[in-house]
Structure 1
């Protein structure tokens, strides 16, 4: 356990915080019925958590560098557990969304430190294996979330998807104190948390996701969409200016001059947005249109999780020095093919029509998680490990949040056009249908028209899902091409390889290397 105990403690926290990204997906219909939620509110249950994680990660990464990674990781576990209880006790959607935001802050503190802890605890071939195990946990957690959520929702109640975090947190805390050594903070009295940068980035990320989420309700040209979108762009521009002038920036923009680091950011952002951005709507189709139970909907996604975990472990052992051209490009390409294969549903299609595409996208994401994480950490020096870990995780969660928001807008617009000649208020009907309200629309129709309406809604949702899947597939394939171009030149590949070697040749803190000896 001296070697693998720290990894187990880190991976347990990683599994829990990433499960909570997707564990809510199969519970959304139950939440909607219990708390009378709209589509926008349901999107915020999923997106609010991811947004809070993304907004707080850079600050958490800097705090980890300044005050110690284990200390920040433990603080994140405690905040996460308290917020999980608050989520479970939610009397209404406003409370639940707020508690999810706080839960996301705790998750950010955990997430920002996991990769940097691994990078300082292990070296050589064990580092590649550790990244492979971590990537397998990350890949399987995102896809196993719906399975666990379905089990808890069916057997108990949707609130138990949050209560279950408490005993898991207790175990993670015990293992962390038992196996993870204290980390040495960066010895620099002049470095301080970049509060202006943190606030500007949070404002930019929040405004962007808010505008994308609400665009299906107000339209892209309305002030309710353009105002927060404009504020987000201004905040991001100001953030870049502040970072360039700061002696100790929240995000060192020079990191993006390294081809391997930039390739890692593109890979994880596109993979998360494309593959997991459409998953909430796949879950809605399985439950509200095909009438699967929450656990049934979760089990449909299980092959994706198994494929991703297997590939991540195998690639971690075979590629201790990941190649962005091989791993990242191939991973995104396979994910794109899998998503595209999910885009051919018909009115009478059942869940088996998704399995092949889910397996293929799982194979791709297994590569994406392992290679992108290793590249992000391997391309920076020791004193930037926390920053790199926070940046990677920020981009990952922001990609997911934007994916859910954009695909929600696309779902409503596509379904609304298909319903124009079928119902009196196609836009409102599309919002209800995409949020799992097919049964309510059918029940509100005259008795003699219900059978025909049910067939229409099945066809409309299938067409909407096809549009999402094909768009997501194209996005992933374009991302693969971009990563290939970025890493094409031989000198870029050599630079990536050199960057990978530098941080581990002379570890900055020998005490933290005991697990790798």
Structure 2
């Protein structure tokens, strides 16, 4: 029916931008081989996209409220399509990272406007149906990413994970132009540019320091300088937001324990549940010899159980306290990571299944309640800001998680290789080769007399690196669960919403 065409347009964009968070995961080993990339490059291909989403979501929402949500959504679609084409044509790691960043900019413009477009288009029961379908599409995107990426990479080449966005973008633009009407917020006050810049610098410098720390040295001037820049930029962001008449994030929201707890939960959920998948995919393909499709299928238990649990939780646990759904979900994510940490040198893909399944249940339990809990904990007038902050926290958690777990994974590899190689080889050089997806080449280039020993060492090194990574992920999940259980009580229900010129309402400390 014609009335569902706007939902179709919005869902197409949301599906694309969320699939692109995970579709790259199983393609990274092929990218590493085709572009001769380093481990750092692989991390940035993922991280730059998540960072752009995290840094620009709130700013893009402000621009959309002022200049038109349909206009910003269409601009995001066009930029996303152009950047996808450029990613597919990239002939070097630097170009690919740059264009992935532009993809993230387009994705932020799309993601920041989808909920507002649905809210202004549908009313009553239709609005509930629209948001239900939109939520299901978001879940399906996460589930489909590794599978679609594996199919395209194995049968057409890794470049097609980007080219596939072009026909979808064309269709989304056509449906949007035909069916979506323009909407604005007449009270929108413009863009908080100082806040946007300081937040972006703080997040980017911290991520860069974490990614380069192992290579440059954690006590090097470069690493310490980046950490310092991040800290100074974060302080500047807080000062800007306190003094701004149009803050990107109203810091008074953080006085609310429920809102703060949910925000911490969202940040740690993404880091604990998803950030290790890139290193797991590297192990599955370069060490265990699985193809991209098989590697994507090996990760399916998490996506499938998350999707099913989310659907069941939405129907059965609608009135449950977010303290238990979010906190319990995070504890399950931590428990799933502990099961994954049972990996050993002789393990193959079946060792992942129990841990991924438990993690998926945790994700499906926690995720649906997060946005609603964040928005219901604050005055209605600030609900859009709260939802944007929640999405920002989740994308930032993914970006920082990839960087932190990458450092842990690389350190574990290096430690095991140094113990095994001793003075007989350059552990750093071998680590770089292994993290670049060249495990097979490292083993094949070894003389016959030592090949079996080197093969065992490679398996042991990957097992150590992944075990350390899973243990840190477990710590993040368990810490997030405890924070939510301690801070979240019930959603705040302010009795009054401040109007223009009125004093801001006190935020209930639930």
On whether the aligned pair clears a TM of 0.5, the verdict is yes
Contact 1:131 1:374 in 2 (8 A): no
Contact 1:132 1:314 in 2 (8 A): no
2: distance between equivalents of 1:319 and 1:70? 34
Matched, 1:23 2:23: yes
Instruction: Kindly state the Cα deviation for residue 29 of structure 1 after the two structures are TM-superposed.
Output: 1.1
1: distance between equivalents of 2:484 and 2:198? 28
1:216 matched to which residue of 2?
Answer: 214
Q: Which structure's relative contact order is higher, taking Cα pairs within 8 Å and 6+ residues apart?
A: 1
Distance 1:502 1:281, change over 3 A: farther
Instruction: Kindly state the Cα deviation for residue 208 of structure 1 after the two structures are TM-superposed.
Output: 0.9
2:311 matched to which residue of 1?
Answer: 313
Contact 1:65 1:386 in 2 (8 A): no
2:341 matched to which residue of 1?
Answer: 343
Distance 1:374 1:70, change over 3 A: farther
2:493 matched to which residue of 1?
Answer: 498
Matched, 1:481 2:482: yes
1:263 matched to which residue of 2?
Answer: 261
Instruction: Kindly state the Cα deviation for residue 46 of structure 1 after the two structures are TM-superposed.
Output: 0.7
Contact 1:113 1:389 in 2 (8 A): no
Instruction: Kindly state the Cα deviation for residue 201 of structure 1 after the two structures are TM-superposed.
Output: 1.1
1:356 matched to which residue of 2?
Answer: 354
2:32 matched to which residue of 1?
Answer: 32
2: distance between equivalents of 1:319 and 1:123? 24
Matched, 1:173 2:173: yes
| Total equivalences in the alignment | 495
2:376 matched to which residue of 1?
Answer: 378
1:56 matched to which residue of 2?
Answer: 56
Counterpart mapping for 1:129-168 below 5 A: 130-168=130-168
Instruction: Kindly state the Cα deviation for residue 437 of structure 1 after the two structures are TM-superposed.
Output: 2.0
2: distance between equivalents of 1:320 and 1:71? 34
Contact 1:322 1:374 in 2 (8 A): no
Instruction: Kindly state the Cα deviation for residue 218 of structure 1 after the two structures are TM-superposed.
Output: 1.1
Instruction: Kindly state the Cα deviation for residue 132 of structure 1 after the two structures are TM-superposed.
Output: 4.8
- Structure 2 gaps, min length 5: 500-510
Counterpart mapping for 1:19-98 below 5 A: 19-98=19-98
Identify the range of structure 1 (57-66 vs 420-429) with the bigger mean alpha-carbon deviation. Answer: 420-429
Counterpart mapping for 1:75-474 below 5 A: 75-121=75-121, 130-188=130-188, 191-320=189-318, 323-381=321-379, 383-423=381-421, 424-474=425-475
* CA root-mean-square deviation: 2.3
Instruction: Kindly state the Cα deviation for residue 376 of structure 1 after the two structures are TM-superposed.
Output: 2.7
1: distance between equivalents of 2:115 and 2:231? 29
Contact 2:331 2:362 in 1 (8 A): yes
Contact 2:273 2:333 in 1 (8 A): yes
Distance 1:347 1:324, change over 3 A: same
Q: Secondary structure at the match of 2:55?
A: helix
Q: Output the TM-score relative to the length of structure 1.
A: 0.90
1:512 matched to which residue of 2?
Answer: none
Distance 1:206 1:302, change over 3 A: same
Identify the range of structure 1 (467-476 vs 133-142) with the bigger mean alpha-carbon deviation. Answer: 133-142
Instruction: Kindly state the Cα deviation for residue 114 of structure 1 after the two structures are TM-superposed.
Output: 2.3
Q: Secondary structure at the match of 1:78?
A: helix
- Structure 1 gaps, min length 5: 507-517
Q: Output the TM-score relative to the length of structure 2.
A: 0.91
Instruction: Kindly state the Cα deviation for residue 57 of structure 1 after the two structures are TM-superposed.
Output: 1.4
Q: Secondary structure at the match of 1:419?
A: helix
Contact 1:76 1:106 in 2 (8 A): yes
Deviations 1:320-371 (A, max 9, x none): 5563212211211121111211111122211111111111111111122211
